[in-house]
Amino acid sequence: MPLKLITNFLGGINANKRPGEIAAGIAFGFLLAAQPGWTIAAIVFFCIAFMLKINMPALFLSLFLFSLASPVLDIPSGLLGGFILNLPALRGFFTVLYNLPLVPYTRFNDTLVMGGLALGIIAWLPLFFAFRVLVGIYRNTVREKIVTSNFFKAFMKLPLVSKIFQLVGKILDFSAG
């Protein structure tokens, strides 16, 4: 994983970026990671994410991290997708969609695609609010404890670490420590 991406993410958490921007980036990262590959829905959500004011390093970092957990999500996604696709009330609707000219290319009739889409949409708001709160908690309590810890001070004095931060050009607002 590129060091600059991690540094930009940490810089966003420690800077005056709105917690909602960071939380939205993380939630969009989960939404994209819940999709099995680059489906049309994932591409649409990716384009929407670029049009909104969200923290892009948070999106890319969370996309990477949630993608590592995506094999674990395949079972619940498949079950949820199968449940949705087999609902008698929606069967006629899905038949009409499947018979439209380009809609079958969305792969909506695949249980993993439907389940991943549903799981990502259902989890978006809870993830957004949870990470919004967590960013606030981090900024108000945890960051100060980290910066003033002896371990962090010693870590920042290591030659390799100081060189990396000089090369990247961002000391993450940890100058208090």
**DSSP 8-state secondary structure symbol assigned to residue 16:** T
Dist. CA 34–CA 118, nearest whole Å: 9
Q: What pLDDT tens digit does each residue of the chain (177 aa) get? A: 555 666 666 666 666 678 888 899 999 999 999 988 888 888 888 899 989 988 888 898 899 989 998 889 889 999 999 999 999 999 999 889 888 888 888 888 889 999 999 999 999 999 999 999 998 888 888 777 777 778 777 777 777 767 766 665 544 444 444
Helices (runs of H) and strands (runs of E) counted in the chain: 10, 0
What are the tokens at 40?
Answer: 């049309």
DSSP string, 27-73: HHHHHHHTSSSS-HHHHHHHHHHHHS---HHHHHHHHHHHHHTHHHH
Gap between the Cα atoms of 30 and 23, Å rounded: 11
Classified as helix, coil or strand, 12 is helix
pTM over 0.85: no
